[in-house]
């Protein structure tokens, strides 16, 4: 599947190394990109000698090319088939001023080709190129192996991870999150700083919940938009014992939410779901949130804006839906397992046995008949990346933790949306969460993408990131 966005390519060259190395590298990179569905933006062979970057004039030409494709370039690959011109690479990036992730690759030498006519010296050249990038204040990513051929499996994996890093970085720098309603009074844990988020390019658009409920209440089951949403809900999940009146209420609320999202060009939402919607409107908003998350527009509950931001980041890393969950229970006596839980708004990618139901815990205070719309379902075994982004107001920073584990098929007899997670060093992770003031909410994603998140959030976004293995 073709990747969203293009990658700029700089092929470095140095005049006293064989020119054919540049030509060969160009062919190999073009073939690799075609194989992986990546669109390259690179100098043609007529613009500079063999399409490489060697002189300042070459750097100017390459920078102009990149600037012309600014809107589509999400990252830059630096290719060093030989030592390369360390200034040419850095000057190209400085002149282009793209502010995107940069991956630096160098070719290995062959032991029997170290004579003057055939040597590369990319091992040394890569160090010099990185030194110049560092001096210029340009952030960059390294390959797993110091030098590696493009067709090496480790480089292909590096390139896939780099594309993920590019998606995360681009997405987070312009994300728009809707905060729908006030934070529930009993949830100090989800407080956050809008100002710190805005300084990092993350916009929060707020609306009073009464405006959404007022819009929904003006709609009727005869409106075409409501009928359309009602059918979408029925197509999305089995309705179980949910009465028709509740389904219509859910559909009307879904229309109101969709109109707000579209009017404000939102990428994600955090919704006040506890307990005003149930008390003042008569249903849960979980099904609508699940549908949005399944369709790659994450929606988190309890107006957990930074939790929703975390959902979006993990989604960008993997290309698959995320779910906001509670670190909820121990699992028997196993120190490396725990129960993940929420009333019922996870994307149905996590719920093969999904059914529209009620929220029993919430029902004890607002009446279970007012909680239709919560989803029931058990998440089976699958890969797990978990993570959490948070604003730390006393420090004035954004911080995060990420890690990987597994979701398991261990027995779990309870209700709602539920899963069992097996996480190495879980007790150390819980110590870290508690000591550093993180929320009880965490995000899960069915992937292994913690490395991408660490690189994007830590290196390119400049946030404080802890990783767990």
Sheet holding 299-301, edge to edge: 203-207, 176-180, 268-271, 299-301
Over its length of 469 residues, how does the chain's per-residue pLDDT go in tens digits? 345 799 999 999 988 788 899 999 999 999 999 999 999 999 999 999 999 999 999 999 999 999 999 999 999 999 999 999 989 999 999 999 999 999 999 999 999 888 877 889 999 999 999 999 999 999 999 999 999 999 999 999 999 999 999 999 999 999 999 999 999 999 999 999 999 999 999 999 999 999 999 999 999 999 999 999 999 999 999 999 999 999 999 999 999 999 999 999 999 999 999 899 999 999 999 999 999 999 999 999 999 999 999 999 999 999 999 999 999 999 999 999 999 999 899 999 999 999 999 999 999 999 999 999 999 999 999 999 999 999 999 999 999 999 999 999 999 999 999 999 999 999 999 999 999 999 999 999 999 999 999 999 999 999 999 999 8
Question: What are the CA-CA distances from residue 95 to residues 61, 62, 138, 443 (Å)?
Answer: 10, 9, 11, 38
Tokens 């075609």 locate to: 34
Cβ atoms of 404 and 385 within 8 Å: the answer is yes
Of 319, 10, 230, which Cα lies nearest the Cα of 138?
A: 10
* DSSP single-letter state for residue 183: P
Q: Are residues 311 and 336 in the same domain?
A: yes
The answer to whether residue 154 is domain-embedded is: yes
CATH number (domain holding residue 132): 3.40.50.10940
Strand ranges inside 302-347, DSSP E: 322-331, 334-342
Instruction: Return d(Cα 390, Cα 314) in angstroms, integer.
Output: 14
- Identify the three-state secondary structure at position 377: strand
Tokens 């991408």 locate to: 452
The residues near 25 (Cβ < 8 Å, ≥ 6 apart) are 11, 79, 81, 107, 150
Cβ atoms of 378 and 419 within 8 Å: the answer is yes
Instruction: Return d(Cα 39, Cα 53) in angstroms, integer.
Output: 19
DSSP H helical ranges for 37-121: 56-68, 86-96
Instruction: Return d(Cα 402, Cα 453) in angstroms, integer.
Output: 7
Q: Are residues 200 and 125 in the same domain?
A: no
Q: Are residues 97 and 47 in the same domain?
A: yes
Last residue of a domain, one of 138, 173, 208: 173
Tens-digit pLDDT profile for residues 257-305: 999 999 999 999 999 998 999 999 999 999 999 999 999 999 999 999 9
Q: Are residues 63 and 191 in the same domain?
A: no
The answer to whether residue 369 is domain-embedded is: yes
Sign, Cα dihedral of 360, 361, 362, 365: positive
Cβ atoms of 361 and 465 within 8 Å: the answer is no
Q: Are residues 14 and 126 in the same domain?
A: yes
The residues near 394 (Cβ < 8 Å, ≥ 6 apart) are none
Q: Are residues 118 and 194 in the same domain?
A: no
Cβ atoms of 323 and 298 within 8 Å: the answer is no
Give the structural domain span for 282: 176-467
The answer to whether residue 1 is domain-embedded is: no
The answer to whether residue 315 is domain-embedded is: yes
Residue 179 tokens, joined: 């905060």
- Please provide the DSSP assignment of 361-375 as one string: HHHHHH-GGG-BTEE
Whole-structure pTM value: 0.96
The residues near 138 (Cβ < 8 Å, ≥ 6 apart) are 90, 93, 94, 102
**What count of residues does the chain have?**
469
Last residue of a domain, one of 123, 139, 173: 173
Cβ atoms of 87 and 56 within 8 Å: the answer is yes
The answer to whether residue 462 is domain-embedded is: yes
How many domains are contained in the chain? 2
Q: Are residues 18 and 159 in the same domain?
A: yes
Q: Are residues 345 and 211 in the same domain?
A: yes
Q: Are residues 130 and 228 in the same domain?
A: no
Last residue of a domain, one of 150, 173, 196: 173
Instruction: Return d(Cα 35, Cα 29) in angstroms, integer.
Output: 10
Chain CA centroid to CA 349, Å: 16
Q: Are residues 268 and 285 in the same domain?
A: yes
CATH number (domain holding residue 189): 3.40.275.10
Question: What are the CA-CA distances from residue 447 to residues 134, 325, 344 (Å)?
Answer: 32, 16, 21
The answer to whether residue 301 is domain-embedded is: yes
Q: Are residues 13 and 129 in the same domain?
A: yes
Q: Are residues 135 and 256 in the same domain?
A: no
Tens-digit pLDDT profile for residues 162-171: 999 999 999 9
Instruction: Return d(Cα 333, Cα 339) in angstroms, integer.
Output: 12
Question: What are the CA-CA distances from residue 227 to residues 224, 237, 238, 260, 284 (Å)?
Answer: 5, 16, 17, 18, 18
- Please provide the DSSP assignment of 84-100 as one string: --HHHHHHHHHHHT---
* Pairing, β 464-468 against β 441-445: unpaired
Tokens 């062919």 locate to: 27
Instruction: Return d(Cα 195, Cα 396) in angstroms, integer.
Output: 10
């Amino acid at each position: 599947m073709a990747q969203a966005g293009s990658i700029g390519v700089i092929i470095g060259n140095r005049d006293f190394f064989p020119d054919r190395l540049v030509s060969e590298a160009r062919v190999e990179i073009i073939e690799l990109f075609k194989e992986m569905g990546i669109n390259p933006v690179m100098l043609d062979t007529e613009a500079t000698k063999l399409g490489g970057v060697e002189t300042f004039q070459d750097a100017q030409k390459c920078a102009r090319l990149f600037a012309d494709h600014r809107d589509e370039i999400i990252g830059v690959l630096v290719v060093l088939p030989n030592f390369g011109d360390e200034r040419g690479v850095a000057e190209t990036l400085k002149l282009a001023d793209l502010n995107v992730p940069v991956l630096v690759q160098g070719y290995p030498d062959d032991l029997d080709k170290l004579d003057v006519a055939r040597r590369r010296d990319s091992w040394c050249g890569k160090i010099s190129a990185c030194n110049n990038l560092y001096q210029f204040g340009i952030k960059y990513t390294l390959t797993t192996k110091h030098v590696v051929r493009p067709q090496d499996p480790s480089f292909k994996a590096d390139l896939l991870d780099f594309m993920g890093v590019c998606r995360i970085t681009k997405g987070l720098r312009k994300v728009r999150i809707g905060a729908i309603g006030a934070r529930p009074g009993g949830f100090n844990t989800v407080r956050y700083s809008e100002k710190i988020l805005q300084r990092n390019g993350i916009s929060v658009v707020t609306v009073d919940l009464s405006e959404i409920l007022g819009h929904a209440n003006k709609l009727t089951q005869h409106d075409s938009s409501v009928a359309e949403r009602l059918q979408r809900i029925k197509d999305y999940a089995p309705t179980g014992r949910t009465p028709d009146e509740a389904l219509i209420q859910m559909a009307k609320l879904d229309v109101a939410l969709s109109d707000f999202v579209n009017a404000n060009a939102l990428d994600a939402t955090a919704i006040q779901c506890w307990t005003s919607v149930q008390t003042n409107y008569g249903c849960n908003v979980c099904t609508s949130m699940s549908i949005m998350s399944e369709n790659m527009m994450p929606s988190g509950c309890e107006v957990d804006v930074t939790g929703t931001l975390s959902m979006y980041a993990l989604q960008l890393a993997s290309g698959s839906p995320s779910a906001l969950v509670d670190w909820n229970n121990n699992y028997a006596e196993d120190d490396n397992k725990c129960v993940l839980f929420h009333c019922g708004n996870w994307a149905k990618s996590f719920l093969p046995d999904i059914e529209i139901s009620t929220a029993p815990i919430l029902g004890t205070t607002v009446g279970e008949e007012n909680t239709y719309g919560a989803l029931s379902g058990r998440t089976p075994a699958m890969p797990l990346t978990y993570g959490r982004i948070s604003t730390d107001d006393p420090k004035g920073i954004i911080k995060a933790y990420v890690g990987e584990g597994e979701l398991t098929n261990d027995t779990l007899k309870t209700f709602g949306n539920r899963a069992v997670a097996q996480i190495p060093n879980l007790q150390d992770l819980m110590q870290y969460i508690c000591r550093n003031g993180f929320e009880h909410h965490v995000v899960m994603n069915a992937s292994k993408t913690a490395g991408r998140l660490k690189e994007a959030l830590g290196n390119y976004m400049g946030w404080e990131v802890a990783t767990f293995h």
